[in-house]
C-alpha cells in the first residue's frame, strides 16, 4: 500500500544513501583539511533572524510555536551561520572558518519535480577581506569539485553591485532600476533592452548595458569591460581583476570564468559572486560570494565570503560524468 509524502520531498534508500554519504564525507574532509570546522544549527529559526539576511522575504515555511513566536524553516545556511558567529564567536580571533552540511527549505512550483528540501554543503569564511578571502573560498570550492570528481566543472565569477551602481550612474533609480535588475537576473535581454530604452538613457548606454551583460570568458573579459569605462564598471573590473590575480597567485584561476552578466537573486551579496556549472548538467550546481554587509545586520562589522553546493545536483553531475567517462551518454 502506498502512503504518500508531500510533493517536493523524497525518501533516500540505501544504495543512493551510500553514494551520498561518500560524497558528503569527501566534501567535509576537504573543508576540514583546510581548517573549516563543521557546525550545525537548528532547522527552525526565528523568522525575524532569517529575514535579516534577505530583507525582502524570509523562509517559505513559517509557523507559530506554542508561545506564539513566529518561526521559519531555514531557507539557506549563510544567515543562520551569521547569527551563530555573532552570538558565539564575537570575540574570537578572525578570520573564522566554518563549514556545514545541512538541509535547507525552498518553495517549489508544483508538478516541476523541484525539491522543497535541498541539502547543501558549503563553507563560510568570516573576517577575511577581498581579494585574498575570496580567492581562498574559490580555492576550497575547486578542491571540493575535484573531490566530487567533477574535474570539468567551471566557476563563474561576477560582481553583484555592478548593475545597481551602473544604473544609478545612468540616473535610473527606484522601481525602474529594480525592474531592470530583475530582467538582468533572469537574463531577459529582450525585455532588458525595451525597458532600458524606456528609461531614457540614450541608445549608446542601452547598448553598453546589454553588451556588458554578455561579456564572459577568461581574463581578456576584464580588458573588454575596461574599454566600456565609467565609475561602476571600473570599480567592478578593478575588484574582479584583484580577485583574479589573487587566484592566479595561488594557482587557482584555471577553472574560473569571469562573467560580467552574473547576478544572483539573494539580497545579501556584495562584491564578488560565484556560480558553479558542470557541462554534464543544465542546472547550476551551487553558488556563493561575498556578503560584507550581512554581519552588520547581526551587530558585527566583518567582511565575509562563502559558497554552498547543492548536494543532490552534485550527485547527479557525478553520475553523468562517470557515465561519460565510461563512454556512455
Partner 1 sequence: MNVGVAGSRAVPGGKLKLAVPRGALFGETLDVLDAAGVDTAELRGNSRSLIFETDELTLVTMRPSDVPTYVESGAAEVGITGKDVLLEQGDRAVYELLDLGFGRCRMVLAGRRGDTRLGESQRRLGMMRIATKYPRIAADYFEGTGRQVDLIEVKGSVELAPLIGLGDGIVDLVATGRTLADNDLEVREEIVVCTARFVANRVAHKLRAAEVDDLTARLREASRTLGAAAS
Our finding on whether 272 is near partner 1 (CB under 8 A) is no
Whether 261 and 189 have beta carbons less than 8 Å apart is answered as no
How many chain residues bind partner 1 (CB under 8 A)? 33
6 vs 282 by CB, closer to partner 1: 282
Give the distance, in angstroms, between the CA of residue 43 and the centroid of all CA atoms in the same chain: 20
Distance (Å, whole) CA 28 – CA 314: 14
Q: Which of 277, 298, 307, 310 binds partner 1 (CB under 8 A)?
A: 277
How far apart, in whole angstroms, are the C-alpha atoms of residue 302 and residue 294?
8
- 281 binds partner 1 per the rule CB under 8 A: yes
Q: How far is the CB of 282 from partner 1 (least distance, A)?
A: 2
The only residue of 32, 65, 69, 151 in contact with partner 1, by rule CB under 8 A: 151
Task: Please say which residue, 80 or 156, places its beta carbon nearer to partner 1.
Answer: 156
Count of C-beta atoms within a 10 Å radius of residue 140: 24
Q: Can you tell me the distance from the alpha carbon of 57 to that of 78, in angstroms, rounded to the nearest whole number?
A: 15
Q: Which residue has the cell 508538478?
A: 111
Smallest gap from residue 322 Cβ to partner 1 (A):
15
211 binds partner 1 (CB under 8 A): no
Start-end of H helices in 268-328? 311-325
Length of the chain, in residues: 329
Q: x/- site string to partner 1, residues 163 to 192, per CB under 8 A?
A: -----------------------xxxxxx-
What residues numbered 61-120 form the site for partner 1, per CB under 8 A? 109, 112
Cell of 250: 595561488
Binding site for partner 1 (CB under 8 A): 109, 112, 151-152, 154, 156, 186-191, 214, 216-221, 254-257, 259, 275, 277-284
Amino acid at each position: 500500500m502506498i502512503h504518500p509524502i508531500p510533493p517536493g520531498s523524497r525518501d533516500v534508500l540505501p544504495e543512493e544513501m551510500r553514494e551520498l554519504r561518500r560524497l558528503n564525507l569527501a566534501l567535509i574532509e576537504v573543508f576540514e583539511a583546510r581548517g573549516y570546522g563543521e557546525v550545525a544549527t537548528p532547522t527552525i529559526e526565528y523568522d525575524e533572524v532569517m529575514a535579516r539576511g534577505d530583507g525582502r522575504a524570509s523562509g517559505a515555511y513559517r509557523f507559530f510555536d506554542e508561545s506564539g513566536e513566529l518561526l521559519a524553516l531555514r531557507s539557506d545556511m549563510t544567515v543562520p551561520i551569521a547569527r551563530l558567529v555573532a552570538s558565539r564567536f564575537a570575540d574570537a580571533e578572525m578570520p573564522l572558518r566554518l563549514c556545514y552540511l545541512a538541509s535547507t527549505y525552498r518553495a517549489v512550483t508544483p508538478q516541476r519535480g523541484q525539491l522543497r528540501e535541498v541539502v547543501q554543503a558549503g563553507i563560510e569564511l568570516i573576517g577575511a577581506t577581498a581579494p585574498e578571502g575570496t580567492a581562498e573560498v574559490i580555492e576550497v570550492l575547486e578542491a571540493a569539485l575535484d573531490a566530487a570528481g567533477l574535474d570539468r566543472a567551471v566557476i563563474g565569477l561576477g560582481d553583484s553591485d555592478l548593475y545597481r551602481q551602473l544604473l544609478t550612474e545612468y540616473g535610473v533609480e527606484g522601481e525602474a532600476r529594480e525592474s531592470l535588475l530583475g530582467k538582468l537576473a533572469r537574463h531577459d535581454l529582450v525585455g532588458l533592452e525595451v525597458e532600458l530604452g524606456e528609461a531614457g538613457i540614450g541608445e549608446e548606454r542601452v547598448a553598453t548595458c546589454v553588451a556588458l551583460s554578455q561579456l564572459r570568458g577568461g581574463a581578456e573579459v576584464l580588458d573588454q569591460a575596461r574599454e566600456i569605462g565609467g565609475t561602476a564598471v571600473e570599480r567592478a573590473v578593478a575588484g574582479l581583476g584583484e580577485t583574479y590575480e589573487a587566484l592566479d597567485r595561488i594557482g587557482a584561476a584555471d577553472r574560473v570564468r569571469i562573467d560580467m552578466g552574473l547576478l544572483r537573486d539573494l539580497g545579501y551579496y556584495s562584491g564578488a559572486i560565484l556560480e558553479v556549472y558542470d557541462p554534464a548538467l543544465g542546472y547550476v550546481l551551487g553558488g556563493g560570494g561575498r556578503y560584507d554587509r550581512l554581519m552588520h545586520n547581526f551587530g558585527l562589522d566583518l567582511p565575509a565570503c562563502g559558497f554552498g553546493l547543492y548536494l543532490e545536483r552534485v550527485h547527479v553531475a557525478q553520475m553523468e560524468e562517470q557515465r561519460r567517462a565510461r563512454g556512455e551518454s
